[in-house]
Amino acid sequence: MEERKQRVSVQVAGKTYNLVSTDSPEHMRRVAELVDRRLRETELATGLPEDRALALTCLNLADELVKAKDESLEMRRRMQKMMAEKGDRA
């Protein structure tokens, strides 16, 4: 069954973006709100112009994503190892 695409308008840095996704409109709004909030925080903390603050915000969010994925992968490996060890003892 094909997932239905949802359309939603969101605002980031005062600009409207029309998004289309199989994710819920609520999810897409939450993502946009996170990006907008982090962009504003970056601008306040650094005093950089919006375009440079946006690039830095993207880099910071990507860094968090990569670290979270690495952590998730490591946790899966540990869990698989524990399950294998438990199976060996059974």
Average pLDDT, 10 consecutive residues per value, the chain (90 residues): 88 97 97 97 96 97 98 96 82
Count of domains observed in the chain: 1
Per-residue confidence (pLDDT) for residue 87, from 0 to 100:
81
Per-residue confidence (pLDDT) for residue 41, from 0 to 100:
97
Per-residue confidence (pLDDT) for residue 86, from 0 to 100:
84
Residue 1: inside a domain, yes or no? Answer: no
Per-residue confidence (pLDDT) for residue 1, from 0 to 100:
63
Per-residue confidence (pLDDT) for residue 90, from 0 to 100:
63
Nearest to 32 by CA among 7, 11, 53: 11
Per-residue confidence (pLDDT) for residue 88, from 0 to 100:
74
- pTM confidence score: 0.81
Question: Which residue segment(s) compose the domain that 66 sits in?
Answer: 6-89
Alpha carbon distance, N-terminus to C-terminus of the chain: 40
Q: Burial-class residue 2 by CB neighbours within 10 Å (0-12, 13-18, 19+).
A: exposed
